[in-house]
Chain A
Amino acid sequence: MKPSGSPWLRILLLFAGLGLWEAAVRLFHVPTYILPAPTRVAMAFYRGVVSMVYVDNLWITLLETVLGFALGTALAFLLGTMVALSRRFEYYLYPFIVMFQALPKVALAPLIVVWFGLGLSSKVVNAALIAFFPLMVNTILGLRSADEDRINLMRSLDASETQIFWMLRLPGALPFIMAGVEVAMIFALIGAIVAEFVGAQSGLGVLIQSLNFSADIAGVFSVLLILSVLGLILNQVILLVRRRVLFWDPSEKRSPESTAGRGRL
């Protein structure tokens, strides 16, 4: 697809922004503990890389995120499928869903840390909890969105409900499910960081807090940079899977830029 602007101008604007930031900080003598200049952030980043302080923490956060994502999406898919297929199951589960949906899930993080301790498990559980809802809702919507004509076609062929599920409902729900998975990946990262803020021994969230306490704001910025790159990479992995799974979906034929810009939390 044709880009809607010049890529050079884009890069130029990015550097112009950084230059403006640098100039403003120097010109107005903004103290480093409030807003460090980009060059300071770069120096802090270099120091961090040399001291290997990022590697271990990054690994921990990544592990928490991926495990939480796997747990959360697996449960969301299972429960979402059960709700979508059984009106009775939905009837009894509905009050719980409504209660949890209204609740900001991050508010549960302190409780989760109390219950599951300061180690890996509380981060995984928190990440899973936050990743869970967007996918469950999308799974229900997707499985219920099966077109009436298509169901009639399957019925006219004497298909069983199981066949209708595997041959029609599930593939038809994949655009919804993949959209939910995309959000769940980023939400899992948020869940892991929040739980690290509440109480942990290692991870990028812990690193941010300790740098913050020692007023190393340039260091905090360097970790933020790492987190945003991590988020970007995780998102790209999902997009890659999505493009393979949904090769047939008309919305996949749009430029990937259009999904990258989508607002989320």
Chain B
Amino acid sequence: MPPVSPEKVIAVRQLCKAYATRAEPVPALQDIDFAMDEGEFVAVVGPSGCGKSTLLKILAGLIPASSGGAYLRGTSIAGPRRDIGVVFQAPVLFPWRNVIDNVLLPADVQRLDRASHARLARDLLDLVGLNGFENRYPWELSGGMQQRVAIVRALIHDPAMLLMDEPFGALDALTREQMTLELQRIWLERRKTVVFITHSISEAVFLADRVLVMTPRPGRIAETVKVDLPRPRGLDLIGTASFGNYTRRIRGHFNAANLSGTEL
């Protein structure tokens, strides 16, 4: 295998994943190849069962690849790493911890200095409009607020890469739109390298620099769509022709395969 260039934040090389079943291994991902620059926002879009969550779990070091590999700043992702932040579909907050303690969970696990990270946590909570909520408990927050806490928690240990697995999938449509804008704002301010998994084509186009379009069973990258739309992008952009061109082009892949389970 050719050496992996360390200036790429993420490099995925001929990545394959098959799940063992009683009969025969079922391929989930096949020959996934892509690389990402520092500060790039990449969305992975595809219908249910295209293996996009599997890809995220491999990038997070939660499950191993069957062959090929994923590299973060030139080193192989062989297991969980401390320089990755993950946001799941559910906020996954611990109800016995208040907001600030939930945010500081990575600092507690990785035994980082609590005082300096608490300061950072307050700044980040400010950034997502949650100042004054430090001492509240998760059950006192709305779904959107909980997911903001989860995003802040994923950023607190200053990871090299942020992985987001359908983070707004469980929210209602209006909150979802608002969170999409919010995420763009956070990203413009912090410029993290983000891998954003979604089954919403418009969400992917709206947020990403590049969209990886995946086909199901086994998941392959059908096309990489570079999104050349100026930032910051506003919600009115969604109605424009250029935005429609991108979404139509991506949807074409799924219509061709006559697939359901993909929105918009």
Contact = CB atoms under 8 A, between A and B. Distances in A.
Interface of A: 147, 149-150, 152-159, 163, 167-168, 171-172, 174, 248-250
Contacts of A154: 109
Given A149-B88, A157-B82, 7 more contacts: A152-B60, A153-B88, A153-B105, A156-B61, A158-B79, A158-B109, A171-B96
19 contacts: A150-B92, A152-B60, A152-B62, A152-B88, A153-B88, A155-B80, A156-B60, A156-B61, A157-B105, A157-B109, A157-B157, A158-B80, A158-B81, A159-B80, A159-B109, A167-B94, A248-B95, A250-B95, A250-B139
Nearest to A157: B109
Contact of B80 (A149, A156, A172, A174): A156
A147 B94 CA distance: 10
Contact of B94 (A158, A159, A171): A171
B80 A248 contact: no
Contacts of B57: 152
Given A158-B80, A250-B139, A167 B92 contact: no
Given A167-B108, A248-B139, A250-B139, A153 B92 contact: yes
A46 to B, nearest CB: 48
A249 B96 CA distance: 8
B86 A153 contact: yes
A157 B92 contact: no
A248 B141 CA distance: 13
Interface of B: 57, 60-62, 79-82, 84, 86, 88, 90, 92, 94-96, 105-106, 108-110, 137, 139, 157
Nearest to B95: A248
Given A154-B109, A157-B110, A159-B109, A149 B92 contact: yes
B170 to A, nearest CB: 11
Contacts, number: 56
Contacts of B108: 167
Given A153-B86, A156-B86, A163-B109, A249 B95 contact: yes
Nearest to B106: A157
Contact of B84 (A149, A156, A174, A250): A156
Contacts of B61: 156
A255 to B, nearest CB: 18
B96 A248 contact: yes
Contacts of A158: 79-82, 109-110
Contacts of B92: 147, 149-150, 153
Which secondary structure dominates chain A's binding surface? helix
A168 B94 contact: yes
A130 B236 CA distance: 68
B62 A156 contact: yes
Contacts of B60: 152, 156
Contacts of A168: 94
A159 B61 CA distance: 12
B159 to A, nearest CB: 10
Nearest to A174: B96
B88 to A, nearest CB: 6
Contacts of B110: 157-158
> Can you list the 10 inter-chain pairs with the closest CB atoms, starting with the nearest?
A158-B80, A248-B95, A156-B86, A157-B109, A248-B96, A159-B109, A149-B92, A171-B96, A156-B60, A153-B92
A145 to B, nearest CB: 13
A106 B34 CA distance: 67
Contacts of B84: 156
A157 B95 CA distance: 18
A61 B170 CA distance: 54
A13 B221 CA distance: 74
Contacts of B95: 248-250
Contacts of A172: 94
B62 A248 contact: no
Contacts of B157: 157
A152 B110 CA distance: 15
Given A152-B62, A163-B109, A248-B137, A157 B80 contact: yes
Contacts of B86: 152-153, 156
A157, A172, A249: most-surrounded residue (chain B CB, <10 A): A157
A133 to B, nearest CB: 27
Nearest to A150: B92
A150 B62 CA distance: 13
Nearest to B138: A248
B105 A167 contact: yes
B208 to A, nearest CB: 22
Contacts of B96: 171, 174, 248
